[in-house]
């Protein structure tokens, strides 16, 4: 009975994503096959197929599936690309990315979240994700440039370090705004010295904070 309900909720979720502009079949397929319940605590597993954000450790959240799908679709991924993710969190978005591009480099400022996500994703058999405990706003200079950059925390402006590490013709998806009012998910396309910025949707993310935490 539980599995039947779970499949019904997943079907409803996919229908909701399609109604809200998710048309990339590869994105829909991976969200359908990925079990979001692996990435949340036991008491929240029954809500894992609902289109809502859920709390995780360290005061962070796992984004609602619609936002994950929009960010992923907007990155225009393929298997030849290298992606940098700022904010590993639960590891759910990292897992989605790993199925759609060649390599994923993911940075988390909370060491406990980084370790938990790394252990989980290793158990799930992912081999193309590389983890780092660091200040995400600084990026990962040693591995730059990146074809795609996804920032899962809100910044008041586009971080210079990340823009510098974005490859030519690369795409960055990042929420921009302040912590208390409007945040807008933006798509940044870099073409030589020209930067094109497109507004995607209103969102609500935790802030991009400087430094790193050992907790």
Q: Which residues are catalytic?
A: 63
| Residue 135: C-alpha distances to residues 169, 178, 189 (Å) | 25, 19, 23
Query: Facing residues of 175 across strands?
Result: 185
Query: Facing residues of 155 across strands?
Result: 176
CA distance 213 to 161: 20
CA distance 84 to 59: 22
At residue 180, the 3 state secondary structure works out as coil
Please count the other Cβ atoms lying within 10 Å of the Cβ belonging to residue 9. 16
């Amino acid at each position: 009975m539980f599995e039947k309900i779970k499949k019904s909720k997943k079907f409803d979720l996919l229908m909701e994503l399609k109604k809200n502009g998710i048309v990339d079949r590869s994105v829909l397929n991976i969200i359908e096959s990925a079990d979001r319940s692996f990435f949340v605590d036991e008491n929240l597993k029954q809500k894992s197929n609902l289109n809502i954000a859920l709390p995780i450790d360290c005061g962070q959240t796992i984004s609602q599936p619609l936002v994950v799908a929009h960010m992923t679709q907007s990155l225009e991924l393929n298997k030849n690309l290298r992606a940098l993710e700022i904010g590993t969190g639960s590891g759910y978005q990292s897992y989605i990315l790993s199925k759609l591009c060649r390599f994923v480099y993911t940075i988390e400022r909370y060491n406990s979240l980084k370790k938990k996500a790394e252990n989980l994703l290793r158990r799930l058999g992912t081999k193309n994700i590389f983890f780092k405990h660091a200040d995400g706003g600084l990026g990962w200079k040693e591995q730059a440039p990146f074809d795609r950059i996804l920032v899962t925390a809100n910044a008041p402006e586009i971080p210079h370090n990340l823009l510098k590490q974005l490859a030519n013709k690369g795409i960055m998806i990042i929420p921009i705004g302040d912590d208390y009012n409007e945040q807008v998910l933006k798509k940044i396309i870099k073409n030589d010295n020209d930067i094109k910025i497109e507004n995607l949707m209103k969102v609500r993310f935790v802030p991009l904070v400087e430094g790193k935490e050992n907790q």
